[in-house]
Structure formats: structure tokens, C-alpha cells
Structure 1
Amino acid sequence: MTTSAVVVTFNRLTMLKEVIAALQNSQTKVDHIIIVDNHSDQDTYEYLTGLGSQIEYMRLDENLGGAGGFNRGVRYFMEHTQDEFVWLMDDDTVPHPETLTNLLRFAHETPQFGFLASDVRWTDGHRAKMNNPAPKNRLHKIPENTTKNEELMNATFVSLLMARPVVAQIGLPITEFFIWGDDIEYTERAGRVAPGYFVADARVTHKMKSNVGSDILTDSLDRLPRYFYSYRNKVYYGAKRNFLGRLKSDARILYEFLKLCLKPGIQNRRQRIHVLVSGVQAGRHFKPVIESVEVMK
């Protein structure tokens, strides 16, 4: 069961070194380590070129965001390797020695799957809030101490395993998403082919600065522009769901809009409302191309 790991990086060399070391020390061998560099600074370039044949290095001519990076990385996996599985992660995702072993064990036992998602923890051992698993039954919350594998609605690109035939069938992640939501859209696309699963014993550590989720009401002004992509992309992939799913997605956006308008104490309220409304309006006309890819024979 051969595997390519795809890591997308941008100017986080210290963490990237730790991720590469973790992949190299995996209990189950990683057959190809593909590093997609979103045009990082010279120190990252020099370090990665210095690794030689230890990795497959793709340096992009510009920063295409996480979405573009994963698009290029998955394409490279399909066109330049014959590995059976692709394992996707950010440059602050540190796999544990047994993570890949446990993902592949599940894949062997349940070969018909759209995607497999890890149990993503923050540095203190609690679940990473940015990567809370989204069970198919949205009324159910997967407890932190669970040992049970569960079917998911979607997942993030923070330790995500997919099989080559699924990628061949659904195509590539959408570059135009740039950031946020590209993984949700892609895993929901895969989930229409076969079920996606949360694999409880396949843990990774997500080394974010702090264990907080994204929230347009409270996030800092310097991060506010990225919420345009968040809402634009939500409108796009929400429209791909069934009737009830679309209704829930639209209701959630409306609820967040009303909170922005009515909740007391919101700083820079007008700016936040403008970003949300702009994103929603853009989403109604957003028609990105889904690229197909040939399977390497």
C-alpha cells in the first residue's frame, strides 16, 4: 500500500523541518514526500533543494494559497508517481509515528472510501478547534476520548488520505478557492463517490499558534480579508449539497450576518459586514473549473 505525502508550505521553515522529519520517521514508510512551496523566501528554497532526493520539491512561481498548493501537489502525485494513496497536510501538521500505519490499516479493512481523516489535536492534546470532525449526523458530536471510527460529511487537509481511483474520478482541488473551504468542497465531492471516515487512532498534532476556530466576529483585522474567500467558497459548495444541506448552509450564513449586525460590542462592525456581504455576492457568480487528471499507468 504505497503512499505519497503532499505537504503545502509557505514561509514556515522551522515547522516544515519538523513535519518532514516526522514523515521520514513514520512507522510505515512514506514512498514519496512531495513538498509544494508557495514561493517561500530564500531560506526555505535553499533548505529544500539541499535535501536532494529525500523529497520531491515543487516550487511555485507565485503564492497560490493552500488550495492552489494542494491542486499542484495532488496533480504531481497522479502524474509522477504510481502510489496507491495520497496523504495531504499543511506545513504545521506533525504526524505521529503510527498515524499512517493506522490510516492504511483502515483503508485495508474498508477499501471503499472517499477519504480518511485523522483525529487532529493541538499541542496540549485537546482536539484542534479548526479541525473538529464533522460527522454525517450533524446532531452528534464526536467525543475527544472516542475510539470509534465514524462516517464524516467532510474534513480538512490536515492529515487526509485519499485513494488514486477516487482522485481520478473527482478531479483536483479547486485552485481558485485560494484559501478556506477548498478541503471542505473536495472532501464533500469525494464523499459523493464513497463514504468518508474519521479514523480515531490516526492522530496528528496541528501546531497552530493558538487553539481557536475562525470567527469573523472576533478575528483580528489583519486576518479579515481571508473571510471574503471563506464566504464566497461557502456559497459555492453549499449550493452543491442536497436541498436540506443548501438550506442549512444558507441559514448558517444568515445567522452569522445577523450576529454581525445585532450583537453588541463588535469592533469594526461595518468592515466585517462588508467582507461577509462581498463574499456572499461573489459566491453567487463563482464558477470555478474542476480540473481532471490522468492516472499514471
Structure 2
Amino acid sequence: MIENNKETVCAVVVTYNRKDLLIECLEALRKQTRPLEGIYIIDNASTDGTPELLKEKSYIKELPPENLTEPWEKEFEVKNLVDDKPIKIHYVRMHENTGGAGGFYEGVKRAYKEGYDWLWLMDDDAEPKKDALEKLLKVRKHYCVSALASLKVNINGKVIHPHRGYFNFKNIFNGIVKPFDEATLGRRYLKIDHASFVGILVNREAIKKIGYPKKEFFIHYDDVEYCIRLRNVGEILLIPKSIIIHKEAAKKGIYKRFLWKKSLRVPYEKLWLSYYSVRNLTWLGKKYGTSKIHFYYGLVKNYLRKIIGIILFDDNKFKRIKFFTNAYLDGLKGHFDNEKPKKLLYKED
């Protein structure tokens, strides 16, 4: 447990099968001009040799046991690269892949219980600039702050939308988060509604009030759901001078022209991931939508567009239609069975 009069900051990094990017992220965290007190590494049962590389790079001193049946945590220590003071490394090896939502649930829960004052959440492909944390904390005394967010850019320095912005609850199928105006980036800070789990610094007092991320989401929109709760207890401030680079891969797939728009056709073997996006967005729309007419109209329109696209362009048409129908229905009913998408697509009838 943390015993310190100084405010403490712990990064929470969720990783899965991106060991080289993870090391780059950790190196950037060690270079912060305002050094961290701790880093939680949540390894979502990676299969690419992540523990071995962490050991090779001296982030951990021993490997986790094989055939885990529950999460395994061990504490180690590294030096920051600014003043050589220690940073606690809390390595958590998950017994199964719980998705980004499950990983952040686990990391936030553990770091909160450890007593850290601020939790800096990010994916393994994030790289904060060396003064990112320092610039965030300069604004922390603003009244009623539940979270602070770095400006998220791609590797070319271009602002990534809509990973920071404002909620649109009127018709969530037209985009549940609307981007901010880049013309406002000259301000010291901006009040926003949403910041993705890449560079959002959360106050423990807010966590005390709202709890942890919703692990049942698995992936997609878990950050939106959490920010809705964060906004209920305080402000979320975007600090434009605090920069975090997100080296996320561009979406790959085949695009078809459909109803005057480009339509991404997802390969069948990767389709299972699309379930969580549809289910979680539908659930959010039903729970928080401000107009039932707009919500159900958008849902039907969205559903029909998917079905027509499948009929025109895709293989395994019957299974795809059944798959998306279940995703929408499960969102409406609030059913969260994260094993279901693979069963629907790949289990032999």
C-alpha cells in the first residue's frame, strides 16, 4: 500500500500481443519529466512472448507460472530515466484474454486499492511525450476534476478524432462522440465529455464514487461508458499541450461502395470482434439516448444497411445475418456473453 504525503501517479497499461510496442510505451513512461511512482502492466494472456521480453528488458525478474487459472501479480522495480528514483512495476498476468475492458477493469481496481492518487490509463501502443504528465498535473487543481486528458495524435502529429469530444445522445448511430473544434486548441484546457483510454488521467476520488470500468463490454465503447460516469461526478479536461502519440494500426479490409458511402467488409475470421461494437453501442443508446424515436430509427436503419451489405458483398451470409441480429438484440436486452460471437460464427452446427 502506498504510504506517501506526495500525490502519487500510476500508469495502467493494458497489453495483448504487441510486446515491442509495449516496451516503447514503458520507455516513454520512464522518461516523464514528472516521474511516475508506479506502472501496472496488465498482460491479457499474450501469446507472443511478452513476459519473456519484459524479463529480458529487466522490467520483471521472474516469469509467471504456466497454466494460470486466475490472475497472477508480482511487484518489481525499475529506475526512471530522469532522476534514477524507483518506479514500482506491478506486473499482472491474466489467465485469459479479458479484452481491453477487462484489462482496464483489472488495472484500475488494483491500482486504486494500492492507494495511488491518479491513474494514467493507456494502451500498449501509446507513447506519451516526455512532458505529457507534467503538463496534465499543472491543471489538476481546477475545481471538481474527475479526469484530465492528453491530446491524442497519430505518428504524423495529426489530431485523432473522435477520441476526444462531446457526447451525442440524440442519435448514437450517427456517432456517439462528436469531435471538438481544433480551433480551440490554443486554450489552456477544454471541457470535454469523453477521452478514450489512451492518455486519460483519472482522479481516485472519482473512482471512489463511480467504481471501475465495465469489464462486461470486453472491447469497444468501454471508455465511453466510463466517461459518462466520470462526467456525472466532475469535469473532464483536455490539456492540448500534453501530447500522447497513438500508434494504432489503420483499419485493414476491403471497402465497397454502398449507398453512396464506403463500406468496410470485414473478413469472416475477424468478424467476431464486430459483435462487441454493435452490442455495446446499442446498449449505450438504449440506456442514455435522449430520443427513443431517433434511437430506434437509427437502429433499424443501421441494421438494414448491414443486412443489405451482407447480401450484396459477403460470404457466409446466413451466419453473418444471424450474428449481427444477435448483437443488436443482446444490446437491447443487456445480455453480456462474451463467448457468444465466436460460438455464433465458428461453432459447427
TM class, shorter-chain normalised?
A: 0.7 to 0.9
Q: Deviations over 1:227-250 (max 9, x none)?
A: 211111112222332534x66555
Distance 1:247 1:223 in 2: 32
- Is the contact between residue 163 and residue 194 of structure 2 (CA under 8 Å) also seen in structure 1? no
C-alpha distance in structure 1 between counterparts of 2:149 and 2:297, whole Å: 27
Q: How many residues align?
A: 283
- 2:186 is the alignment partner of 1:157: no
1:256 corresponds to which of 275, 297, 302: 302
CA distance in 2, matches of 1:197, 1:181: 19
In the other structure, the counterpart of 2:270 is 223
Name the aligned partner's letter for residue 18 of structure 1: E
* 2:182 corresponds to: 143
Quote the Cα distance in structure 1 between the aligned partners of 2:149 and 2:157. 17
Structure holding more helix per residue: 1
Q: Deviations over 1:91-131 (max 9, x none)?
A: 001111111111111212x14123222211111111234x5
Aligned twin of 1:119: 151
Alignment-mate amino acid for residue 86 of structure 1: L
Q: Which residue of 1 aligns with 2:19?
A: 13
Change (3 A) 1:53 1:256: same
Query: Which has the bigger relative contact order, CA under 8 A and spacing at least 6?
Result: 1
Structure 1 residue aligned with 2:38: 32
Q: CA RMSD in A?
A: 2.8
Q: Whose strand fraction is larger, Structure 1's or Structure 2's?
A: 2
Name stretches of at least 5 consecutive residues in structure 2 with no aligned partner: 1-6, 60-75, 79-88, 169-176, 256-261, 337-349
- What CA deviation, in whole Å up to 9, does each residue of 1:168-218 have, x standing for no partner? 110111111111111110111111111222221121111012278xx9940
Amino acid across the alignment from 2:328: V
Q: Of the candidates 82, 107, 113, which is equivalent to residue 73 of structure 1?
A: 107
SS of the aligned residue for 2:77 comes to helix
Corresponding residue number in structure 1 for 2:86: none
Q: Which has the larger radius of gyration?
A: 2
From 100, 104, 109, the equivalent of 2:137 is: 104
Q: Mean alpha-carbon deviation: is it higher for 233-242 or for 247-256?
A: 247-256
User: Matches of 2:134 and 2:299 in 1, distance apart?
Assistant: 39
Closer, same or farther in 2 for the Cα pair 1:261/1:242, shift >3 Å? closer
Counterpart in 2 of 1:61?
95
Structure 1 residue 30: Cα displacement? 0.9
The AA in structure 2 aligned to 1:208 is: E
TM-score normalised by the chain length of structure 2:
0.73
- 2: CA distance, partners of 1:238 / 1:207: 29
8 Å CA contact 2:17–2:48 kept in 1: the answer is no
Is 2:265–2:314's contact at 8 Å kept on the other side of the alignment? Answer: no
Tell me which amino acid in the other structure corresponds to 2:123.
D
- Contact map agreement 1:92 1:206 (CA 8 A) in 2: yes
Which of 208, 233, 236 is equivalent to 2:283? Answer: 236
In 2, the alpha carbon distance for the partners of 1:101 and 1:116 equals 12
Identity of aligned residues (%): 28
- Describe the SS at the equivalent of 2:139: helix
Confirm or deny: 8 A CA contact 1:217 1:266 kept in the other structure. Answer: no
Q: Which residue of the other structure, out of 215, 218, 228, is the alignment partner of 1:178? A: 218
**Letter in structure 2 aligned against 1:230:** S
Seen in structure 2, the aligned counterparts of structure 1 residues 89 and 239 have a Cα distance that, compared at 3 Å, is same
CA contact (8 A) 2:289 2:295 kept: no
Q: Which amino acid aligns with 1:257?
A: Y
